[in-house]
Structure 1
Amino acid sequence: MSDAVPRRQLGRTGLAVSHIGLGCSGFWGNRRFPEVEAEKIVRRALERGVNFFDTGINYSGYHAEPRLGRILQRAFSQWPRENLIISSKAGTVTGQAGIHGEARDFSPAHIEQCCAQSLRNLHCDYLDIFQLHGIGEHQLTDELFTALEQMRRAGMFRFLGINTHSRSTMQHLAKHPGLFDVALIDYSALQQDREPVISAMHDAGIGVLAGTVLAQGHLSTNRMLQLKRTADIWYLARALFKPSSRKLMLGAAAMRNTIARIHSQAPAQTAFAYVLQNPAVASCILGTTQLDNLELILDTRIDALQKEERERIIETFGDGEASPSH
Structure 2
Amino acid sequence: MAEMEHRPLGRTGRTVSVLGLGCASYWAKPRFSEARARAVLAAALEAGITVLDTGASYANGHAEQRLARLLRELGADPNALLIGTKAGSIRNSQGRLVKDFSPRTVTAQVRESLDRLGLERLPLLQLHGPTTADLTDDLLTALERLRTDGLVDLLGINGDPAVIRHATGRAPFDVFMPFVSVMRPDNVPLMQAAADAGQGVLVGEPLGRMAFAPPLAHWLTRPSGMWYLARALRHGPAPLLRARALRPALQAPGWTPAELALAWVLEKPGVSSAVFGTTSPDHVTGLAKAAARPLPDTARTAIARVLKS
TM-score normalised per structure 1: 0.88
Map of 1:105-124 to 2, 5 A cutoff? Answer: 105-124=100-119
Distance apart, 1:246 and its partner CA: 5.5
Count of aligned pairs between the two proteins: 307
Map of 1:264-303 to 2, 5 A cutoff? Answer: 264-301=254-291, 303=293
Distance 1:147 1:57, change over 3 A: same
* Match in the other structure for 1:185: 178
Map of 1:1-326 to 2, 5 A cutoff? Answer: 2-75=1-74, 78-94=75-91, 102-164=97-159, 166-174=160-168, 176-240=169-233, 242-243=234-235, 247-260=238-251, 262-301=252-291, 303-319=293-309
Q: Extract unaligned runs of 5+ from structure 2.
A: none
Distance 2:185 2:177 in 1: 16
Distance apart, 1:132 and its partner CA: 0.3
Distance apart, 1:230 and its partner CA: 1.5
Opposite residue 160 of structure 1, the aligned amino acid is L
Distance apart, 1:47 and its partner CA: 1.4
Distance apart, 1:302 and its partner CA: 5.0
| Aligned partner of residue 128 in structure 1, secondary structure | strand
Distance apart, 1:304 and its partner CA: 3.5
| Aligned partner of residue 265 in structure 1, secondary structure | coil
Distance 2:216 2:83 in 1: 31
Distance 2:258 2:25 in 1: 19
- Structure 1 contact 217–223 (Cα < 8 Å) conserved: no
| Aligned partner of residue 27 in structure 2, secondary structure | helix
Distance apart, 1:3 and its partner CA: 2.8
Once the two structures are aligned, what percentage of the paired residues are identical? 35
- Structure 1 contact 265–304 (Cα < 8 Å) conserved: no
Opposite residue 269 of structure 2, the aligned amino acid is P
Distance apart, 1:297 and its partner CA: 1.0
- Structure 1 contact 274–302 (Cα < 8 Å) conserved: no
Distance 2:170 2:140 in 1: 14
Distance 1:263 1:50 in 2: 26
Distance 2:216 2:207 in 1: 12
Distance 1:69 1:203, change over 3 A: same
Distance 1:298 1:128 in 2: 23
TM-score normalised per structure 2: 0.93
- Structure 2 contact 218–225 (Cα < 8 Å) conserved: no
CA deviations 1:235-290 (Å, max 9, x no partner) are 222223x32x7543332111122113x33511110000000011311111111111
| Aligned partner of residue 7 in structure 2, secondary structure | strand
Distance 1:302 1:223 in 2: 30
Distance 1:223 1:101 in 2: 29
Q: CA RMSD in A?
A: 1.9
Distance 2:239 2:59 in 1: 22
Distance apart, 1:301 and its partner CA: 4.4
- Structure 2 contact 176–199 (Cα < 8 Å) conserved: yes
| Aligned partner of residue 99 in structure 2, secondary structure | coil
Opposite residue 35 of structure 1, the aligned amino acid is E
CA deviations 1:115-171 (Å, max 9, x no partner) are 00100111111111100000111110111111111111111110101000x222222
Identify the structure with bigger relative contact order (alpha carbons < 8 Å, sequence gap 6+): 2
| Aligned partner of residue 12 in structure 1, secondary structure | coil
Distance apart, 1:308 and its partner CA: 4.3
Q: Extract unaligned runs of 5+ from structure 1.
A: 320-326
Distance apart, 1:88 and its partner CA: 0.1
Distance 1:188 1:101 in 2: 28
